[in-house]
């Protein structure tokens, strides 16, 4: 039984070390001490410190995602949509996610010309597209399900990350040259 408990703890320590942003445990001796503490029935296990920066570790622990401001002044995010990686321009003024036709197809969404209608009105007039629901949208460990979106088959240069997702990671704030999304 003790060997099984040690194996379970060792696997958990490996998974934690492998998936914490920035890397692994500081030393092998810390691993052994932590495993011994758990195996001896003590309930308090020392925190594992990663070798990455303190800021990135603090953000990961706090459930925040930080996006740097690009040279063009905008914020961009690489987001998983239905399992496909999509680059978005973060648009806090957009009410829903807007996907380019190519990004929508990459995310497994399909439509016909008969499905296209006016989905919004922009500064340059009506926007033609298709309403959709995204099964899963993930950014920085935050997962949202059944997220409203529109597919804009033509005329959209980059997909827009709008409020249908951003509202699930409130608050969203801009701090100097970074956008901070919290859970």
Domain boundaries, the chain: 2-62, 65-181
Low-confidence residues in the chain, pLDDT < 70:
1-62
Separation between Cα atoms, residue 16 and residue 145, nearest integer Å: 25
Torsion angle (degrees, nearest 10) of CA 83, 87, 91, 97: -30
Look up tokens 């899963």; give the residue. 136
Q: What pLDDT does residue 131 have?
A: 97
Q: What pLDDT does residue 37 have?
A: 36
pTM over 0.75: no
Q: What pLDDT does residue 160 have?
A: 98
CATH number, domain 65-181:
2.40.70.10
Q: What pLDDT does residue 175 have?
A: 87
Q: Identify the three-state secondary structure at position 8.
A: helix
* Distances, alpha carbon 44 to alpha carbons 21, 36, 39, 115, in Å: 23, 11, 11, 57
**Are 36 and 43 within 8 A, CB to CB?**
no
């Amino acid at each position: 039984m003790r060997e099984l408990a040690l194996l379970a703890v060792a696997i958990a320590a490996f998974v934690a070390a492998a998936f914490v942003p920035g890397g692994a445990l500081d030393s092998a001796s810390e691993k052994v001490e932590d495993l011994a503490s758990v195996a001896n029935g003590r309930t308090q296990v020392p925190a594992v410190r990663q070798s990455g920066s303190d800021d990135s570790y603090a953000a990961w622990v706090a459930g925040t995602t930080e996006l740097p401001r690009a040279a063009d002044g905008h914020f961009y995010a690489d987001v998983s949509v239905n399992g496909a990686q999509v680059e978005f321009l973060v648009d806090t003024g957009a009410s829903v996610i807007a996907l380019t036709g190519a990004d929508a197809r990459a995310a497994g969404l399909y439509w016909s010309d008969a499905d296209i209608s006016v989905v919004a009105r922009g500064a340059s007039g009506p926007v033609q597209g298709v309403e959709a629901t995204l099964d899963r949208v993930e950014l920085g460990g935050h997962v949202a399900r059944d997220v409203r979106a529109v597919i804009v088959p033509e005329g959209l240069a980059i997909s827009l990350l709008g409020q249908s997702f951003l509202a699930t990671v409130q608050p969203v704030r801009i701090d100097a040259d970074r956008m901070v999304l919290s859970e």
